Amino acid sequence: MSADVIIPMFNSERTIINSLDALNRQTYNNFKIVVIDDGSTDSSIELVESFKITGKFPIKLIRQEHAGPAKARNLGVEHSEGDIIIFLDSDCIPPANWLEEMIIPLKGKIVGCNCGYRVMNKEYIIARYIDYEIAKRHSQLVGKSIDTVGTYSASFIKDIFKKAGGFDTNYVIASGEDFDFTFNLKKMGYDLTFTDKTFVYHYHPNSLRKYLKQQFWRGYWRVRLYLKNTDKIVKGDSYTGIEPQIQVILSSLMLLSVPFIIFNVAIPMTMFGILLLSNLPLGFWAFAKEKKFIVIAPLLSSIRSISGTLGAYTYIIERIFK
C-alpha cells in the first residue's frame, strides 16, 4: 500500500531537517511526504525547499495562514495521494523501521496506530521527567484496544479518516484534537492499537516555564474535549484513565485552601501534601529509572496538575463571560 507522511510545521527551523533526513533512511519505500507550513516566520520554508532538491522521496510543500496543527493536518490529508496517512510532528525523528511498523498493524477493524516516544534532549531534568511520565502511560497500552492516539506519530487508513470527518479545527493549538478524533473513531466501531515495535525521538520542553505553559493550555482545551465527549468524564480514556479528573479535584481543593494560609499554614500545606501523595505512584515507577525522581516526579506532577487546573478554570470563566 502507498502512504503519505504528513508533517505540520510552524517555525521548525531547528528540527525539520532532522525529521526529513530520518525519512530518507526508512526501510519502507512506497511513500511521499506532505509538509504543511502553518504560517512560519522563520527559515523553515526555505530549508524544506532546499531539502526537496536532495531528498530521496517526493516532498509536497503546502502553505496556510497560521491556524494550528488540526487544520494543517486536515489540509495535508486533502493533498495526500496514498492509501495510508501517517502523521509526524516536525520535532520528531523516526528510526529506520518507523514507517514499516506503523503500517503493519492496519488491517481488519484496526484503522489507526500509535507508537511511543524516546526523549531526545535527555540532558534536561524536565525533559527526562516528561519522558518517564509518558513512558509509564504507554507501557499500559501495549496489546490493548485503545481509544486515544497522539498525532505526533500516528497512522490511519485514509478513507476511514475522511469518513470520520478529520480533526476539529476549533482546537487552534495541539491540545486534544487528536483524542477528540479517535474518540469519534471508536464510537464508529473501529479499533485502534499501540505498537511497541517502533518509536520516535522527540524534543520535550526543557524548562519548567515551558512545561507549565504547555500543561496550562492542555488543561484549557481538555474542558472542550470533555464537553464534546461527556462519557469520558466518568469513564476516562485508555491513555490517562480518570487521573485528570482526580487531579483537578485535588488541585482545586489545594487552590481553595490557599486563602486559609492567613489562619493556619498547615491547611494549604496538608492539601498540597495530599496532591503529592496522589502522584507518588509515578515517583515509584521513575525511581527504577533514576533514583532521584522518587522526589522529583511527584513534585513536578503536582505542579503540572495545578497548572492544568488553572487552564481548565480559565476556559470555563471565558465561556461564562462570553
Does some domain include residue 22?
yes
Position 1 confidence tier, pLDDT thresholds 50, 70, 90: confident
Regarding whether 180 and 246 lie in a shared domain, the answer is no
Whether residue 133 is found in the same domain as residue 91: yes
Domain tally for the chain? 2
Confidence of residue 174 (pLDDT cuts 50, 70, 90): confident
State the average pLDDT over residues 138-146: 92
Chain mean pLDDT for the chain: 96
Are residues 17 and 145 located together in one domain of the fold? yes
Domain boundary among the residues 170, 204, 238 is at 204
Closest CA to 185 of 156, 224, 154: 156
- Tell me the per-residue pLDDT of 45-82, one tens digit each, with 9 for 90 and over: 999 999 999 888 999 999 999 999 999 999 999 999 99
Does pTM surpass 0.85? yes
224 and 194 co-located in one domain: no
- Same-domain status, 162 and 232: no
| pLDDT for res 48 | 97
Q: Does residue 218 fall inside a structural domain? A: yes
Whether 128 contacts 290, CB under 8 Å: yes
In-domain check, residue 161:
yes
Same domain, 135 and 251: no
Q: Which of 181, 164, 163 is nearest to 225 (CA)?
A: 181
Note whether 103 and 10 are same-domain residues. Answer: yes
| pLDDT at 184 exceeding the cut of 90 | yes
> What's residue 233's pLDDT?
94
pLDDT at 54: 86
In this structure, are 104 and 136 located in the same domain?
yes
CATH of the domain at 67: 3.90.550.10
Give the per-residue pLDDT at 93: 97
As a three-state string, the secondary structure of 256-308 is: HHHHHHHCCCHHHHHHHHHHHHHCHHHHHHHHCCCCCHHHHHHHHHHHHHHHH
Tell whether 231 and 110 lie within a shared domain. no
Query: Do 129 and 57 lie in a common domain?
Result: yes
Residue 17 pLDDT: 97
Grid cell for residue 97: 523501521
Q: Mean of the pLDDT values across residues 140-148?
A: 92
Kindly state the cell numbers that stand for 282: 509515578
Question: Is 209 contained in some domain?
Answer: no
Query: What domain range includes position 264?
Result: 214-321
Q: Residue 322: is its pLDDT beyond 80?
A: no
pLDDT tens sequence across 9-42: 999 999 999 999 999 999 999 999 999 999 999 9
Confidence (pLDDT) at 234 = 92
Share of the chain above pLDDT 90, in %: 94
Q: Which of 172, 204, 236 is the last residue of a domain?
A: 204
Residue 96 and residue 26 share a domain: yes
Helices and strands, counts by H and E, the chain: 13, 8
Q: Does residue 124 surpass a pLDDT of 80?
A: yes
139 and 282 together in one domain: no
The arithmetic mean of pLDDT across residues 142-170, rounded, is 96
Sorting pLDDT into bands at 50, 70 and 90, what band is 306?
very high
Q: Which of 176, 204, 232 is the last residue of a domain?
A: 204
